[in-house]
Amino acid sequence: MFSNLRIAGAIQAMLENIEAPPAPIHAIRERASQAPQPARTRRFFLPAAAAVAALVVIAPLVAPGFTQNIEAEIESILRWTPPPPPPKSVEAAIRATTGDLADAQRRVDFTIVPPAGLPSGAVREKIATTPTAVYSKITHSWSVGNPAVYFVYRRARGDTFSLLADRVDPRQGPPSKYVFLDQGRRNGHEVLERHENFAWRNGDQVMNAVAGEGLSAAEIRAIRAAMHGVPFPGVWPPQTGTIEKQYRLP
Amino acid sequence: MNVERGLVERARSEDAALEALVAAMWPQAFRLAASILRDRGLAEDVAQDACAAIVRSLPALKNPGAFPAWFYKIVVRHALSEGRRRRPAEPLEALQRRCVNDPSDFLALEEAMASLTPLARAVVLLHYYAGFSSVEIGESTQLPASTVRFHLMLARRALRKALSATRAPDLLAEARDNV
């Protein structure tokens, strides 16, 4: 118990050491007299088809009751049955490795074409390479897939955005046109917000970006144009062999 | 939080009391928001919004004695809502003055808190600072109590890990004893 008391004391001291500005009483009263703003909650984004599966992937990392509730609600929204959680061996392999572009290139088997035409003031925060968890809809089993590369940037205004580079794989099917932002719970129900998803090809690389998460659709189109990226066709060629669905940790 | 019940009651009808209440709760609101968001500008905005929501809803508060718990819930909800939307732009060190008592604890705690998510920071603050139970934290964060306990366990683990790398051996030993 003593350690808890000590931690509590240290936290209290930490807070007391934060200098608060003078109380803006008039500004607060003015805000109080206005109608309340709508809740601006946005937890995380998940590719539309992978929304439930990604939660399944995360499920072992968070409390079971919480994720099961979310899974059930998202399942009912998307009318889609999620795959089972991946085995521990697959889970353990899904770890991000940060480094520079050369490090990332050494870890992937496609030629990385880095993002270009970024919004002014955006600076690269990190490049992370993460193996993917692949679920086969034919064999109903999980395996560790090829790594993908996350480019994370910080904007001058403080928020961040990311772009995901992966190897083009026809077995994946066409990229999702939309992704869903989890807006948290309203009236006891999970709320998903639809956002436009962009994917384009450069050689054997596919780059993915989501509008609304630090980047507007116009800014993403500018990046795609600067990279001379080729959009994917709306109609996907007929498939041969095993069709797999790939899920990534956020 | 040290706010007299009488002040809360008077603030419902008296302008001067309302201003006194805002002045009393403002530093706490700002510090909580700053600790969760780790961004001074954002914290100021969120604390203003939270205080405005409190002022607006004060007449609906049935039990003035429950004001401190109600206050913490509103501030944390506002901070978490904003935290989900934005990323921090300013390190916490910029928010703090130099610690005069125990720099090792302070730095260790700063490192530990920095390693946590905004939600985990909120859980830690509500538990260790506001003295909330896991059920009460669950009401504030809209999470089941079991999930809160899970976050608290992970946060404790992160705190211990960070503390182990700094000059706080006694604290670490106590933490180990308490596992």
Within a domain: B123: yes
- Beta-carbon contacts of B160 under 8 Å, excluding residues fewer than 6 positions away, are B172, B175, B176
B5, B86: one domain: yes
- Beta-carbon contacts of A27 under 8 Å, excluding residues fewer than 6 positions away, are B48
Residue among A13, A19, A154 whose CB faces B101 most closely: A13
**A189-202 and A230-231 strand pairing:** antiparallel
Span B14-49, pLDDT tens digits = 888 888 999 999 999 999 998 888 888 888 889 998
Q: What is the pLDDT along chain A (250 residues), one digit of tens a residue?
A: 446 666 777 777 778 878 888 888 888 888 887 655 433 333 333 343 344 333 333 333 333 333 344 445 555 555 455 567 777 787 777 777 888 999 999 999 999 999 999 998 899 988 988 887 777 766 777 888 888 898 989 888 778 888 999 988 776 666 777 776 656 656 665 566 778 888 899 999 999 898 887 889 999 999 999 999 998 765 555 554 445 555 544 3
B166, B133: one domain: yes
Residue among A1, A36, A66 whose CB faces B53 most closely: A36
CB A206 within 8 A of CB A175: yes
B6, B72: one domain: yes
What letter would DSSP give residue A20?
P
B120, B166: one domain: yes
Number of domains, chain B: 2
B144, B165: one domain: yes
Question: Which of B42, B147, B163 should we substitute to test contact with A (largest number of A Cβ atoms within 10 Å)?
Answer: B147
Span B112-126, pLDDT tens digits = 777 788 888 888 888
Q: Given CB atoms, is A36 within the 8 Å cutoff of chain B? A: yes
Instruction: Give the span between the Cα atoms of A240 and B35, in whole angstroms.
Output: 54
Instruction: Give the span between the Cα atoms of B88 and B110, in whole angstroms.
Output: 15
B119, B165: one domain: yes
Q: Given CB atoms, is A154 within the 8 Å cutoff of chain B? A: yes
B122, B154: one domain: yes
B73, B131: one domain: no
User: Residue B85 belongs to a domain with what CATH number?
Assistant: 1.10.1740.10
A 112-151 near B (Cβ less than 8 A):
none
What is the structure's pLDDT at A18? 83
What is the structure's pLDDT at B169? 43
Within a domain: B51: yes
Residues of B with Cβ-Cβ distance to A29 under 8 angstroms: 18, 22, 52, 55
What is the structure's pLDDT at B163? 59
Report CA-CA distances (Å) from A182 to A55, A73, A169: 11, 12, 27
Task: Report the alpha-carbon angle A67-A73-A79, nearest 5.
Answer: 125
Span B123-160, pLDDT tens digits = 888 888 888 888 888 887 778 888 888 888 888 777 76
Question: Which of A2, A5, A12, A15 should we substitute to test contact with B (largest number of B Cβ atoms within 10 Å)?
Answer: A15
B82/A19 Cβ within 8 A: no
Within a domain: B45: yes
A 162-221 near B (Cβ less than 8 A):
184-185
What is the structure's pLDDT at A110? 93
Q: Given CB atoms, is B87 within the 8 Å cutoff of chain A? A: yes
B54, B129: one domain: no
Q: Given CB atoms, is B17 within the 8 Å cutoff of chain A? A: no
Within a domain: B95: no
Mind giving me the DSSP string for B15-79? HHHHHHHHHHHHHHHHHHHHHHH--HHHHHHHHHHHHHHHHHHGGG-S-GGGHHHHHHHHHHHHH
Choose one of B90, B125, B153: the last residue of a domain. B90
B107, B86: one domain: no
| Three-state secondary-structure class, residue A196 | strand
Half-sphere exposure of B25 (CA within 13 A, CB side): 30
What is the structure's pLDDT at B97? 40
CB B93 within 8 A of CB B42: no
What is the structure's pLDDT at B105? 53
Span B166-176, pLDDT tens digits = 444 444 444 34
| Structural domain range at position B27 | 1-90
- Amino acid identity for residue B106 in this structure: F
Residue among B48, B85, B144 whose CB faces A24 most closely: B48
What is the structure's pLDDT at A3? 64
Q: Is B145 exposed, middle or buried (0-12, 13-18, 19+ CB in 10 A)?
A: middle
Choose one of B63, B90, B117: the last residue of a domain. B90
Over chain B, what is the mean pLDDT? 75
Of all residues in chain A, the one with the smallest CA distance to B101 is: A13
Span B58-91, pLDDT tens digits = 888 888 888 888 898 899 888 888 776 655 444 4
B 90-149 near A (Cβ less than 8 A):
95-97, 99, 101-102, 105-106, 108-110, 113, 124-125, 128-129, 142-144, 146-147, 149
**B66 to chain A nearest CA, in Å?**
21
B35, B69: one domain: yes
Choose one of B70, B90, B110: the last residue of a domain. B90
B1, B86: one domain: yes
Q: Given CB atoms, is A17 within the 8 Å cutoff of chain B? A: yes
